[in-house]
Amino acid sequence: MKTKAVRLYGKNDLRLEEFELPQISDDEILAKVVCDSICMSSYKATHEADVHKRVPRDIAQNPTIIGHEFAGEIVEVGARWKNQFAVGEKFSIQPALNYDKGPVGILSAPGYSYRYIGGNATYVVIPKEVMELGCLLHYKGRGYYPASLSEPLSCVIGAMHANYHTTPGSYIHKMEIVNGGCMAILAGVGPMGLAAINYAIHRTDCKPRLLVVTDIDQTRLDRAASLYSPAEAKKNGIELQYVNTAAMSDPTAELKALTGGAGYNDVFAFAPVAPVVEQADAILAFDGCLNFFAGPAKTDFKAAFNFYNVHYAATHVVGTSGGNTDDMKEALSMMSAGLDPAGLVTHIGGINAVIDTTMNLPQIPGGKKLIYTHVDMPLTPISDFAEKGKTNPVYAELHRLCEQSKGLWNVEAEEYLLKNAEKL
């Protein structure tokens, strides 16, 4: 079968090409990719290329397909897996394999390391490594984009599960955020911050009493509040406050005051900026856990940390990068039960938009850029559908469908796009 895919050949060298996929073996699966969400990690891999830890050194001769936040449906099943998967089933992929037999060893991942699997393709061959590790995951919910976005949601799920707290008088660490505690998400209204807010206020097993979300951009804060409102959080027993720290004369003191002066049990830093990390440290409560979520691009990134508090107040720091397979399963389960990640998505595009979008991702405002790989469509902000609809009825209908959903992408809009894309 032929596939059309965006492949990485070297630094800043992405090419959209059509080529033949090999016939699958008994321990592989052929799949159709429907959509892929473009991640900042793909931008980093593109700019670093063969020096990136997940990218093979021989990509000039054996290019890899980029994109790791994807979903689709199964087309053909190898004999070994016929009792577990069926043609027509929807799927998502856990890309973090942690398997030493991949192209670059333990860090091998679809979307970075493989010639025949990645999200920015029309069809892919799912290799035996993915299958043997249980990283091909069933999705039974509506649409495809929720399954695509289960990977970024799994990252914030993993982060919250990775936080820990101590038991006075023992060396036992209790994993998880503090149930009924105070949580802060700093620089928290970007795409991943929105995913964290969505998860924190809708999970039922463990949740904060107080959730404070900060940023310095009031427009972004207002959008976050319209998507995940304090009223909605209150229904789930959470006091949610959005705070613009740029308007505060003493952000540290004023943020701590929201907790009655005690500080926060769990603080998540969603920007790799030293002042954000230092502010996170400064607002920790006794036994507070700082999760440095944002991945820095600089290998020598540093920020000051109060080691007096480490010694006497038991404060501590963790860092997480991605979620594991259990986190992905939790994300997919929540999606199937109705959790909608559409608030993360601000742009829609086709496979022809992948290269420019990936290469310039930091300069493109907004949230997640969602790509439909069987569609030719320029990367388009959802907010521009109305204007484009004046001359193209497809955009007009997409605008109408999104307006019915608070201006957000939705399953009905996705279905309409997939049926009418050739008219764009």
- CATH number (domain holding residue 95): 3.90.180.10
Q: 88 with 200, same domain?
A: no
Report residue 132 as tokens: 């043997």
pLDDT value for 119: 98
User: 385: part of which helix (H) or strand (E)?
Assistant: helix 385-388
Q: 312 with 163, same domain?
A: yes
The one-letter amino acid code at 252 reads T
Q: Angle 89-90-95 (CA atoms, 0-180°, nearest 5)?
A: 125
The total of structural domains in the chain comes to 2
Judged against a pLDDT cut of 80, whether residue 232 lies above it is answered with: yes
pLDDT value for 279: 98
Could you read off the pLDDT of 179-203 as tens digits, one per residue? 999 999 999 999 899 999 999 999 9
Which of 109, 83, 89 is closest to 98 using CA atoms? 109
Residue that the structure tokens 């997480």 belong to: 320
Q: What are the beta bridge partners of residue 369?
A: 38, 347
Q: 180 with 310, same domain?
A: yes
Q: 301 with 171, same domain?
A: yes
pLDDT value for 135: 95
163 occurs within a structural domain: yes
154 occurs within a structural domain: no
Q: What percent of the chain has pLDDT over 90?
A: 90
- Give CA 360 to chain center in angstroms: 18
Q: CA of 63: how far to CAs of 15, 35, 115, 247, in Å? A: 9, 21, 6, 48
Residue that the structure tokens 């902000």 belong to: 381
Could you read off the pLDDT of 66-113 as tens digits, one per residue? 999 999 999 999 999 999 999 999 999 999 888 787 898 888 999 999
- How far is the C-alpha of 189 from the C-alpha of 196, rounded, in Å? 9
Q: 106 with 43, same domain?
A: yes
Could you read off the pLDDT of 6-39 as tens digits, one per residue? 999 999 999 999 999 999 999 999 999 999 999 9
Q: 94 with 185, same domain?
A: no
pLDDT value for 258: 98
Report residue 82 as tokens: 């016929």
Q: 14 with 108, same domain?
A: yes
Judged against a pLDDT cut of 90, whether residue 295 lies above it is answered with: no
Q: What is the pLDDT confidence band of residue 345, given thresholds at 50, 70 and 90? A: very high
Q: 202 with 347, same domain?
A: no
Q: Angle 117-118-120 (CA atoms, 0-180°, nearest 5)?
A: 130
Q: What's 255's domain CATH number?
A: 3.40.50.720
Provide mean pLDDT across the span 266-295. 96
- How far is the C-alpha of 253 from the C-alpha of 255, rounded, in Å? 6
- How many other C-beta atoms can be found within 10 angstroms of the C-beta atom of residue 71? 27
pLDDT value for 322: 81
Q: 355 with 240, same domain?
A: no
Handedness of CA 323, 328, 333, 334 (dihedral sign): positive
- How many other C-beta atoms can be found within 10 angstroms of the C-beta atom of residue 164? 17
Q: 377 with 400, same domain?
A: yes
What's the mean pLDDT when you consider all of the chain?
95
pLDDT value for 169: 87
Q: What percent of the chain has pLDDT over 70?
A: 100
- How far is the C-alpha of 328 from the C-alpha of 202, rounded, in Å? 16
> In 249-377, which residue ranges form alpha helices assigned H by DSSP?
251-257, 274-282, 307-312, 325-336, 354-359
Residues spanned by the domain of 390: 1-149+341-424
pLDDT value for 197: 97
Could you read off the pLDDT of 304-328 as tens digits, one per residue? 999 999 999 999 999 988 889 999 9
Which of 191, 156, 150 is closest to 344 using CA atoms? 191
Judged against a pLDDT cut of 90, whether residue 148 lies above it is answered with: yes
Q: CA of 299: how far to CAs of 253, 272, 295, 296, 316, in Å? A: 31, 11, 10, 7, 21
pLDDT value for 423: 86
pLDDT value for 42: 95
Report residue 333 as tokens: 């389960």
pLDDT value for 235: 95
- How many other C-beta atoms can be found within 10 angstroms of the C-beta atom of residue 46? 22
Which range is least confidently modeled, 51-55, 102-106, 250-254? 102-106
Provide mean pLDDT across the span 256-281. 97
pTM score, whole prediction:
0.91
